[in-house]
Amino acid sequence: MSFTPLPGTRAPVRVWTDPYTIEAQAARQLRNIGALPWVQGVAVMPDVHFGKGATVGSVIAMRQAVSPAAVGVDIGCGMSAVRTSLTAADLPDDLAALRGAIEAAIPVGFAKHADAVDPRRVRGLEQGGWGDFWQRFATLDSRVAKLETRARQQLGTLGGGNHFIEVCLESGGADDGRVWLMLHSGSRNIGKELAERHMAVARRLPHNADLPDRDLAVFLTGTPEMDAYRRDLWWAQEYARRNRAMMVALLCGVVRERFPTVGFDEPISAHHNYVAEETYGGEQVLVTRKGAIRAGKGDLGIIPGSMGTGSYVVRGKGNPDAYCSASHGAGRRMSRGQAKRTFSTADLAAQTAGVECRKDAGVVDEIPGAYKDITEVMAQQQDLVEVVAHLKQVVCVKG
C-alpha cells in the first residue's frame, strides 16, 4: 500500500496503515508532533502504537531541532542477525541445552557480566576503536560518571522487556531450513540514564513552554543543550551497536562450541531508536526513528514479529515519502498490563508451541497475541521494503 495523509496537522503526516485503526492516544500524539514548528514531516509505520512522549513506529524529520523523547530512553536499540552454514538437520531434537548455553554466555534481564568483557578475547568481534570509545565516556554528562563500571559490565548483555536472542530457521526459497542467529537489544541502562537527564533539561527550556505536550520538548541547533545531547546521543548509539556486536560474537561462540565447522556470514545490524542527519527535498534534516529502521535503497534490515511468529530480513526500496524508513517490528496491539490480564501461561505455551523458550508468567506480556499480525504489517509496507528472508524461531531467549 502507499501512504494515507493524516488530516489536521501543520506538517504532512503520512500513514502506512489504516488511520482509523490507530489508537486514539497515538493519533493525538501524531497530531501533536505534526504541529511542532520545527517538523518538516512525519512518516507513520504500520506497527504504530502509543509511546511515552512520541509514538512508537514514527519517523520525524526536524529542521535544526531534535526531541529526545522522540528517540526514547533505549537510545540505539535495534536488531542484529547473522546467517550460519548450518541447516535444520544439524540441530538436535531437544534444544533446551542450546538455550541454556546461550543464557550462560549472555546475561539477560537485570544481570550483567561479573567482569567487563575484554573485546580482545572475543573471537570475531571488531577490534577497532575501543580505546577511543571508552575514553569518550569521560566527556558525557557528568551525572553519569559513576556509571562507567556498570556500563562496561553491561556491554554484551541482553536486558529484558521485548529484547531477545533467537535461533531461527529460514522458511522457503533456496535456503529453506538454513539456521540464522538473531537478537534485539540496545544501550542498556546507560542509554536510559542519559536520555532521561536530557529529556528533563529539554522540558525546562523556555521555547518549549507552550508545546501541546511537554514530553515533545526539543533542543535547538546552535545551543549548548543541543551540543551536549548530540554528544551523548552519538556515544549511546555507538554503545548500543557495540553491545549487539559483542552479543553476536558471544552467540556465535556458543554455536561454534557445538558445531566446530560452522561458518557465519557477515552480520546485519540496524538501529530502530535513533537520530541521523539526512537530506530530503534538498534540505538537511535530523531524522528521528522511534520504532523504525532505515530502509534506504539496498539497505538490509530486520523486522521481527513476536516470540512465536517469526521475523523478516528485508532490503529497503528508498521511498522518500517515508524518509527511507520501514517498521521495526509487528508493534504491540495491547499494553503489557492488558496482555497480563488477557492471557494465561497456558495461552503462552499454546502460542509458542514448537519454540524452546520461557513459558512462565514473567513473559506473558510478550505473548504473540499481544502483538499485531506481522504478515499484515509486512503487506502494508510493500512500497518500503522487499523481503529477503522469512525466519521462524526455534529457540527464543528472553530476559
* Cβ–Cβ < 8 Å for 130, 87: no
Give how far Cα 174 sits from Cα of 178, 295, 302, 382, 391, Å.
Answer: 9, 24, 20, 22, 13
Tell me, yes or no, whether 363 lies in a domain. Answer: no
159 known ligand binder: no
3 is in an annotated binding site: no
SS3 240: helix
- For the chain, the domain total comes to 1
- What is the per-residue pLDDT for 3? 83
Q: What is the pLDDT of residue 155?
A: 98
The answer to whether position 357 is within a domain reads no
- What local confidence, expressed as pLDDT, does residue 1 receive? 56
DSSP 8-state class, residue 72? -
The one-character DSSP state at 155 is T
At 337, which helix (H) or strand (E)?
helix 336-342
User: Does any domain span residue 216?
Assistant: yes
The pLDDT > 90 percentage for the chain reads 93
Closest CA to 97 of 238, 219, 255: 255
CB neighbours of 149 closer than 8 A, spacing ≥ 6?
116
Q: pLDDT tens-digit profile of 122-179?
A: 999 999 999 999 999 999 999 999 999 999 999 999 999 999 999 999 999 888 999 9
Q: Is 219 part of any domain?
A: yes
Amino acid at 58: S
Q: Is residue 353 part of a domain?
A: no
Q: How far apart are CA 110 and CA 311, in angstroms?
A: 25
**What is the residue-wise DSSP string for 278-322?**
EEETTEEEEEEEESEEE--TT-EEEEE--TTT-EEEEEE---GGG
Ligand-binding annotation for 49, yes or no, is no
Query: Which residues lie closer than 8 Å to 197 by C-beta, 6 or more apart?
Result: 141, 143, 144
Catalytic residues: 328
Q: What is the pLDDT of residue 335?
A: 93
235: in domain: yes
Is 329 known as a binding-site position? Answer: yes
The answer to whether 198 is annotated as binding is no
Cβ neighbourhood burial of 333 (10 Å; 0-12, 13-18, 19+): middle
CATH at 393: 3.90.1860.10
Instruction: Confirm whether 358 is domain-assigned.
Output: no
Low-confidence ranges of the chain (pLDDT < 50): none
* Contact in structure between 164 and 106 (CB atoms under 8 Å): no
Asked if residue 359 is part of any domain, the answer here is: no
pLDDT tens readout for residues 237-291 = 999 999 999 999 999 999 999 999 999 999 999 999 999 999 999 999 999 999 9
Residue-range definition of the domain harbouring residue 99:
4-333+371-398
pTM of the model: 0.96
